[in-house]
Chains A and B, each alone.
Chain A
Amino acid sequence: MAKRDQICLEARGLTKVFGFGRNRTVAVDHVDLTLYEGEVVSIVGESGSGKTTLAKILLGLINETEGEVYFQGKKRDIRSYRRKQEYWKNIQAIFQDPFSSYNIFNKIDTVLLDCIHMRGGRGLPHAQKVEMMAEACRFVNLKFEELTNKYPFELSGGQMQRLMIARIFLLKPKILVADEPTSMIDACSRATILDMLMQLRNEIGMTVIFITHDIGLAYYVSDTVYIMERGRFVESGSADKVILTPSHPYTKRLISDVPKIYEEWDLSTV
């Protein structure tokens, strides 16, 4: 297992402002985040609270307005596209909507081959590449023989998201940003995908930033939880501490919003 005490990714005073003048929106407002190696961190908040923007800044897909990101102790330098490409070898993502995540003109083989090539496997013999792709597909309970020469849009949403996990399996990044990976998936596939994600994390020992609006899900998967409201972290700490003994009213509201199956509804008030 990874060493829990070593800092993997650190954000100091991270701010993102969109627009200016009247349209000025502060999406992320002076956020501090510390990520230890091997842990699962959840960022929980409503839609529009800046979770996805924060994720994209951490991924280096959009530039921060202010603040610094430290990666493995050193200040992250992604000013040139080439540096970004280096950075992306260490950090990967799973996006919210599997239907728009794939290029509809690329076959599944291309998606997986790109990952092998990114890990320096360009010169490998074709048979070995096929074996690696098949292994990745087996890991997520897909059959590579059935997927080859197909397009991603021919799959179901759950299968697409599993294919996304297969990508991560091949890429073996240090950090994974999972941006609401299960919110577009039906409830049955949701558990499978979460289990696969956690199994993958245990296997390759990566750090996971799990972004969700579902605080129950965050409790289920994470070690540390950050509660985000309007671009700021209002509460953070270990999952047990934050969810079992919430101190901020926003956290309390989020927890009370989780539907409970065994809760008896008071129909007289309806």
Chain B
Amino acid sequence: MKHTLRQVFRSGKFLFGFSIFVGLLLIVIIYPLLVPDDPLRIIGQGTFFPPGIYVNTYDSVNAATKYTLNLPEADVRRIESRLKQEDRLAMREWLTAAGIPESEIDIEDTERLLTLWNNNFDPKKSIPGMTNARRNYFIRLNNALKGLATSGDLILASKQAESGTLEETGIIKDTDYVNVSEVANVRVLVLGTDNFGRDMLTELVTATRVSLQIGFVAGLIATLIGLTLGLLAGYVGGLVDDIIMFFTNLFTVIPGFVLLILISYSIGQEQRGAFTVATVIGFTSWVWTTRAVRAQVVSLRNRDHVNLSKLSGHSIPHIILHDILPYIASYVVMALILQISSGILAEAGLSILGLGPKTTEVPTLGLMMRWAMIYQAHIQGNWWAYLPVLVTIALITFSMNLMNTGLDQVFNPALRD
């Protein structure tokens, strides 16, 4: 037994999958201890804030100390951050039309682009083939660029409560800085926010936990049913075998996912908690485990060691527990791992169809995908709303399948490469 375990942990594939899985588990366990936020709390007003560090403007203006830094590249940076991509493309269009070789124009290098533009742009220059409206557009663009470059001081004023007049309280120069650590309210949104304005990372971690729980419950239920029925059918045989296999074949023929959809639909949105869904998934996916366990037991039950156990006076439950079960244990563990990963996938599939757990209680990976899809995150290019979820689902199933392959190679030496 110890020897087998050592062999399992020497298998590269198993170890790789196992470490990914344990890593995910650790994140799921440790992250909520560090960030004890409610994953469903709506913090952002608006949909899909991109990932980044959010510094409170009010607090930074009112920061206790102001620092003056004279950075030569500050102006360029400022323009760079405000110069939109479409403006850059328009600038290139005019410059190439004016006869500047395309190799000299680099729209990513803001400083050079601006110098090139300022040196060459002439509103009076007529370019063949350009309409009047287009020329006016370029003139407007030129003016806007000038506006970007000039940066005056900003005056801070507060409203007097009695008279309603504005009173100047301070001036913000373009060389004023605050230290982020001195700003009272800074929020790091590593993965931005979702369509409801919830913190994606916190939600994702909780969703991973809930999805794993759903997978485990579904996998355990499916494996328990499959194991019990498989052992009964395989060992007892005869009429019991016929009846069990009749129902197993019946369920094999009906596509499991269709059954899952029908049951989930008939339960109703209000009744569907995460564990109801897990139970439903478990009760619709025991078929393959039953067939596999039965096949193994049928080949085991006529072996000599089982006969010897019978001759040693053991009862049937004892024989099943001690002479059959240990021999198929590795197989059952492998089936359990696959059931867990397919349970997670089934939940995601159900949720995307709108038949998953109800949305008000817990997030799940499938529900996050569903909302990202409904709010068209994929069309708007809000990758942070669906890509991390996809990667998490892929990582979980990938790690579990790797573990399964690793175990398979240890227990079925014929498969070793």
Across the A-B interface, the 5 shortest Cβ-Cβ residue pairs: A118-B313, A114-B312, A105-B326, A101-B304, A95-B304
Known: A61-B310, A88-B310, A95-B308. Contact between A100 and B322, CB under 8 A? no
A182 interface residue (CB < 8 Å to B): no
Listed by A's residue number, 30 A-B pairs whose Cβ atoms lie within 8 Å are A59-B307, A59-B311, A61-B307, A61-B310, A81-B316, A85-B313, A89-B313, A92-B311, A93-B308, A95-B304, A95-B307, A97-B304, A100-B305, A101-B305, A102-B305, A102-B308, A103-B305, A103-B308, A103-B309, A103-B322, A104-B305, A105-B1, A105-B326, A106-B322, A111-B312, A114-B313, A115-B312, A117-B313, A118-B313, A167-B312
B347 interface residue (CB < 8 Å to A): no
Query: How far apart sit A59 and B304, CA to CA, in the bound complex (Å)?
Result: 13
Question: Do A114 and B304 touch across chains, with their CB atoms under 8 A apart?
Answer: no
Query: B291-321 toward A: CB 8 Å interface, digit per residue (1/0)?
Result: 0000000000001110111111111100000
Query: How far apart sit A56 and B303, CA to CA, in the bound complex (Å)?
Result: 12
Query: How far apart sit A220 and B101, CA to CA, in the bound complex (Å)?
Result: 107
B325, closest chain A residue (CB): A105
Which residues from chain B contact A84 at a C-beta distance below 8 Å? Answer: 310
Which residues from chain A contact B308 at a C-beta distance below 8 Å? Answer: 93, 95, 101-103
Query: How far apart sit A180 and B313, CA to CA, in the bound complex (Å)?
Result: 23
B residues with CB within 8 A of A: 1, 303-305, 307-316, 322-323, 326-327
A89, A93, A115: the one contacting B307 at CB < 8 Å is A93
Question: Do A103 and B307 touch across chains, with their CB atoms under 8 A apart?
Answer: no
Additional A-B contacts beyond A115-B312, A118-B313 (10; CB < 8 A): A59-B307, A85-B313, A88-B313, A93-B308, A102-B305, A102-B308, A103-B309, A105-B1, A106-B322, A114-B313
Question: Do B311 and A105 touch across chains, with their CB atoms under 8 A apart?
Answer: no
Question: Do A103 and B323 touch across chains, with their CB atoms under 8 A apart?
Answer: yes
Which residues from chain A contact B327 at a C-beta distance below 8 Å? Answer: 105
Which residues from chain B contact A103 at a C-beta distance below 8 Å? Answer: 305, 308-309, 322-323, 326
A122 to chain B, nearest CB (A): 11
Which residues from chain B contact A102 at a C-beta distance below 8 Å? Answer: 305, 308
Question: Do A88 and B311 touch across chains, with their CB atoms under 8 A apart?
Answer: yes
Question: Do B314 and A114 touch across chains, with their CB atoms under 8 A apart?
Answer: yes
Residues 72-125 of A contacting B (Cβ, < 8 Å): 81, 84-85, 88-89, 92-93, 95-97, 100-106, 111, 114-115, 117-118
Query: A145-189 toward B: CB 8 Å interface, digit per residue (1/0)?
Result: 000000000000000000000010000000000000000000000
Query: How far apart sit A111 and B311, CA to CA, in the bound complex (Å)?
Result: 11
A151, closest chain B residue (CB): B1
Query: How far apart sit A167 and B326, CA to CA, in the bound complex (Å)?
Result: 23
Which residues from chain B contact A117 at a C-beta distance below 8 Å? Answer: 313
Which residues from chain A contact B1 at a C-beta distance below 8 Å? Answer: 105
B304, B312, B316: the one contacting A100 at CB < 8 Å is B304
Which residues from chain B contact A101 at a C-beta distance below 8 Å? Answer: 304-305, 308
Which residues from chain A contact B322 at a C-beta distance below 8 Å? Answer: 103, 105-106
Query: A48-88 toward B: CB 8 Å interface, digit per residue (1/0)?
Result: 00000000100101000000000000000000010011001
A86, closest chain B residue (CB): B313
Which residues from chain B contact A59 at a C-beta distance below 8 Å? Answer: 307, 311
Query: How far apart sit A96 and B308, CA to CA, in the bound complex (Å)?
Result: 12
Which residues from chain A contact B312 at a C-beta distance below 8 Å? Answer: 111, 114-115, 118, 167
A102 to chain B, nearest CB (A): 6
Residues 31-50 of A contacting B (Cβ, < 8 Å): none
A83 to chain B, nearest CB (A): 13
Which residues from chain A contact B311 at a C-beta distance below 8 Å? Answer: 59, 88, 92-93
B306, closest chain A residue (CB): A103
